[in-house]
Structure 1
Amino acid sequence: MRWVNIRPSRNGAMLLGAIPLLAILVTYLFASAARHADNPSDKLLPTPGAMVSAMHRLIAQVDPLSGNMLFWMDTAASLQRLGIALGICTLSTLLVGMVLGVLPVARATLGGLVTAIAVIPPIALLPILFIVFGLGETAKVALIVIGVAPFLIRDLADHVARIPQEQLVKAQTLGASSWQLALRVALPQAMPRLIAGLRLSLGPAWVYLISAEAIASDAGLGYRIFLVRRYLSMDVIIPYVAWISLLAIAMDVALAQLSRRGFAWAHRSDR
């Protein structure tokens, strides 16, 4: 049997996926133990006990300056910024992407502008955003929106524009207006694509969020990572990075389940 024809079962796929993670974990534990055997005060590869102790202070103890538990305050601040930004991206993509995809005139007029914005490195705009919007929440949210929305709009517009012409002709033959074509023909086919685009955009969105928080913020996961780096506090940085990864995975799984449950017809080929 050829390797390309071997398809693992669901449980088998989960087992295979766990192997690299376990390998990384075991390698880290051995490397950490070896470094601490030579230098008990080593900070580069903290032991699990050191990370648990450091995180316990952030998770369970109230900070005397802010009156909050820092870990949960950072998590709430970052998720709020990310949630607002992705919500704006979703709404703007549905509005602009659908218009560009359904109406050739709009695509010819605004398509070039969207493309021009999409190719600008968002991080390069961060100083401009801070100057225009100040150091508050607006600039951080705007960075994520500028970095993610143009990509989603282009992708959704291209997907809608590739809808088979036969479907549009049949709908118009039955008397459908442009508004009905957008809502009843294009929108149902655009939604799975939009969710898939959001899943692909989670990584860049987190990058923009962490970058903005690192430069100007008083709370957030990115803020905390860059605050403690001056003290070489890897016992805080590593758990925070792992927590960000878990949050991103949870968001990706949630979006995948939403797509499968809401638009099962778009995933028939996955079974």
Structure 2
Amino acid sequence: MSRLMNRKPGRVLHLGLVLLPFALLLLLYLASSQARLADNPNDKLLPSFTQMADAVDRMAFTPDKRTGAYLWWDDTSASLKRLGTGLGIAAVASLVLGMAMLIPLLRNPLSPLVTVISMIPPLSILPILFIVLGLGELSKVMLIVIGITPVLIRDMQQRVSEIPTELLVKAQTLGANTWQVLIRVVLPQLLPRLLQGLCLALGPAWLFLIAAEAIASTDGLGYRIFLVRRYLAMDVILPYVAWITLLAFIMDRALKGICRALFPWFEPKGAH
């Protein structure tokens, strides 16, 4: 009999094992919700699936009586715009500065600066951003940029240090100058690592976005969650949280799919 650690589930069993914890959580929630609502039909802590479905219909498919807007989709659009802008700026900045780490004259002053900045809790400087940049879109985007860029740069620096020295020497021996080495040798090595890093940065990026929207915003997923919390509207909050989770999952899958399509030779650590 083979060891348990060496046994691999088949396709059907694998799918069942993946879905099992989610099914158990749903059943646990359903049972808890029914028990609380049976004791108190007006209980708001654990709304039923019907109540949450009604809330989604009201937020997503019924125009707001005051503005005529579909709040669910307006909030989603506002949040994704901020998140996409922040991720894009962070990606470009980390890629450029990561490539600069190959040059000692730039690496020596940049590396310790990035290390120190990466130690600053991003949420602690949120009030500073609001004071300096105002309460508009720029401060929210910059919180995402400041929150994830230093970590991405350090990851890029690590990848640069892993590039075989022989590869760089061969390129220079064949007559490549610094720019050619950066573009033809270093850049292809950093791009797949950058996509992998963005996947890992999605969680913190969403956290910074929700925090910024909750404090100073008039739209967005984080704004809506913290607006309705005063009414204990869990029938709205829980679907919004589930929707954010789904969006993050889709973005993660998309980034990994792009990485596999453009860089099939790249295999992240831990991949099988």
Report sequence identity in percent: 54
1:1-271 equivalence runs, <5 A = 1-9=2-10, 11-100=12-101, 102-267=102-267, 270=271
- 1:9 and 1:260 map into 2 onto residues whose CA distance is 24
- 1:180 and 1:98 map into 2 onto residues whose CA distance is 12
Q: Deviations over 1:115-169 (max 9, x none)?
A: 1111100000000000001000000000000001110011101211221111111
Shift of residue 80 of structure 1?
0.4
SS in 1 for 2:217: coil
Look up the equivalent residue of 1:130 and give its one-letter code: F
- 2:266 and 2:30 map into 1 onto residues whose CA distance is 43
Shift of residue 9 of structure 1?
4.6
Shift of residue 270 of structure 1?
4.3
Q: Across the two proteins, how many residue pairs are aligned to each other?
A: 270
What stretches of structure 1 of length at least 5 have no aligned partner? none
Shift of residue 15 of structure 1?
2.7
- 2:43 and 2:162 map into 1 onto residues whose CA distance is 57
- 1:261 and 1:9 map into 2 onto residues whose CA distance is 26
Q: TM-score, normalised by structure 1?
A: 0.96
Shift of residue 12 of structure 1?
4.0
- 2:187 and 2:45 map into 1 onto residues whose CA distance is 51
Distance 1:26 1:141, change over 3 A: same
SS in 2 for 1:264: coil
Q: TM-score, normalised by structure 2?
A: 0.96
What stretches of structure 2 of length at least 5 have no aligned partner? none
- 2:4 and 2:176 map into 1 onto residues whose CA distance is 49
Q: Deviations over 1:55-101 (max 9, x none)?
A: 1111111112222100000000000000000010111111111111x
Distance 1:109 1:10, change over 3 A: farther
- 1:211 and 1:4 map into 2 onto residues whose CA distance is 42
Distance 1:181 1:4, change over 3 A: farther
Shift of residue 4 of structure 1?
3.1
